């Protein structure tokens, strides 16, 4: 079956750096998305990776290793507003989007 | 303001009743999707439509139906609601069906449905 694994919950300190990991086992691979979802709100797009390597976008970076079935989202200079759930999603060989359950990130002062 | 709207925002429904959740987008996106989100399970695809006039089944389609008469609207109908359909429902759209750069999903604000 298809599976995406993310830690359920992580805690970090304001101003610090946190890395949220995502491992996937899917039938084929056609890209990986990261979304942010604040409590009670809709998910919003953060990043897209289809080739190996690091994509940097301001305080957020996303890394992909296709051979390892692995991605991570790196958040720098954490702010309280970064408290949210972070969802990893993979496009499989049928171009269907498979979602992970999300990682709830708690930021402490 | 361009985006996706959903109605109602929330609803409490008696089991056995029929309910239609509305979704409208004004971005002229070809593809639209309905998801349910339950605690600890992530987003699960119910139905999708890659273009007006076509629909397809997702991961959890049983008990739900959709129609796509035009580009903008994609209603989701629960023919006879059951308590297991209590969830938060999100409608989403992408410029085209499938994946790829620039084809990220845009989500509506969601409908919180409780079936008693």
Q: Give the 3-state DSSP-derived string for B20-88, with helices as H, strands as E and coil as C.
A: EEEEEECCCCCEEEEEEEECCCEEEEEEEECCCCCCEECCCCCCEEECCCCCCECCEEECCCCHHHCEE
Of A4, A31, A43, the CB nearest to B107: A43
d(C-alpha A4, C-alpha B99), whole Å: 17
pLDDT confidence bin for B103, thresholds 50/70/90: confident
Which of chain A's residues have a Cβ under 8 Å away from the Cβ of B100?
30-31, 50, 91
Structure confidence at residue B40 (pLDDT): 81
Structure confidence at residue B48 (pLDDT): 94
Verify whether the Cβ–Cβ distance A42 to B110 is below 8 Å. yes
Full pLDDT tens readout for chain A, 109 residues: 789 999 999 999 999 999 999 999 999 999 999 999 999 999 999 999 999 999 999 999 999 999 999 999 999 999 999 999 999 999 988 888 899 999 999 999 9
Structure confidence at residue B62 (pLDDT): 97
- Dihedral sign from CA coordinates of B39, A3, B76, B1: positive
d(C-alpha B13, C-alpha B9), whole Å: 13
The separation between CA A57 and the C-alpha centre of its own chain, rounded to angstroms, equals 13
Is the bond leading into B8 cis (omega within 30 degrees of zero)? yes
pLDDT confidence bin for B1, thresholds 50/70/90: low
Q: Find which of A9, A90, A96, A98 to mutate to test the B interface (most B CBs within 10 Å of its CB).
A: A96
d(C-alpha B5, C-alpha B73), whole Å: 10
Q: Find which of A42, A64, A89 to mutate to test the B interface (most B CBs within 10 Å of its CB).
A: A42
Which chain A residue lies closest to B98 (C-alpha atoms)?
A95
């Amino acid at each position: 079956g298809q599976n995406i694994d993310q830690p359920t919950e992580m805690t970090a300190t304001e101003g610090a750096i946190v890395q949220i990991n995502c491992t996937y086992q899917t039938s084929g691979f056609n890209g990986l998305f990261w979304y942010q979802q604040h409590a009670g709100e809709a998910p919003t797009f953060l990043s897209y990776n289809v080739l190996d390597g690091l994509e940097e976008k301001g305080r957020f970076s996303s890394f992909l290793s296709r051979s390892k079935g692995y991605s991570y989202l790196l958040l720098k200079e954490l702010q309280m507003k970064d408290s949210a759930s972070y969802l990893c999603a993979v496009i499989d060989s049928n171009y269907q989007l498979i979602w992970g359950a999300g990682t709830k990130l708690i930021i402490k002062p | 303001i361009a985006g996706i709207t959903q109605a109602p925002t929330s609803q409490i429904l008696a089991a056995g009743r029929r309910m239609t959740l509305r979704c409208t987008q004004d971005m002229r996106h070809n593809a639209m999707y309905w998801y349910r989100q339950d605690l600890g399970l992530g987003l699960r695809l119910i139905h999708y439509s890659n273009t007006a006039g076509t629909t397809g089944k997702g991961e959890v389609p049983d008990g739900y139906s959709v129609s796509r008469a035009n580009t903008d609207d994609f209603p989701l109908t629960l023919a006879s609601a059951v308590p297991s359909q209590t969830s938060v429902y999100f409608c989403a759209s992408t410029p085209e069906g499938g994946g790829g750069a620039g084809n990220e999903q845009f989500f509506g604000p969601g409908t919180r449905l409780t079936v008693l």
